[in-house]
Amino acid sequence: MSDETPAGDPRQPEYPAAPYPGEPPPRDPDATGRGVRAALTIFGVAVALHLALLAFVKLSRNDENVWLFLPEGLLVIFFGLVSAIIVTIKLPLESRAPFWLAGIACMFGSFIVWGATCALGM
């Protein structure tokens, strides 16, 4: 018998090869997708709130309830920004730039959906 441990011995853990000094760490292939999915999740919640308020205004059969779109829009902006900051802190560094780029596009889309639902509510 030899003193060498056979390959795959469960008693000896295998460590990944350390990068050479000056070499950048390996990139996460899902970093961009993770950031975009987080932005789309916040966008989906905002659109759901806009649609829920539209349903409330239409089902109430009172056109004077359209004024509710103003405070609802302000609340969506405020809580969207707060949730974006919280998500940014929790995301890995590589996912933050895609999150904010997709988040800006989703913000403009949310304004368009908000305006359309407000117009439909009138």
Q: How far apart are alpha carbons 86 and 42 in whole angstroms?
A: 11
pLDDT recorded at residue 12 = 61
pLDDT recorded at residue 42 = 95
Does residue 5 carry a pLDDT above 80?
Answer: no
pLDDT in tens, 54-77: 999 999 888 888 899 999 999 999
Q: Find, among 52, 33, 63, the residue nearest to 113 by Cα.
A: 52
18 pLDDT band (50/70/90 cuts)?
low
**Share above pLDDT 70 across residues of the chain, in percent, rounded to a whole number:** 84
Q: How far apart are alpha carbons 100 and 35 in whole angstroms?
A: 8
Q: Find, among 47, 20, 41, 21, the residue nearest to 95 by Cα.
A: 41
8 pLDDT band (50/70/90 cuts)?
low
Q: How far is CA 2 from CA 7, 32, 61, in A?
A: 13, 48, 86
- CB-facing half-sphere around the CA of 101: CA atoms within 13 A: 10
CA-based end-to-end distance of the chain: 86
**Lowest-pLDDT choice from 9-18, 23-32, 60-69, 103-112:** 9-18
pLDDT recorded at residue 89 = 94
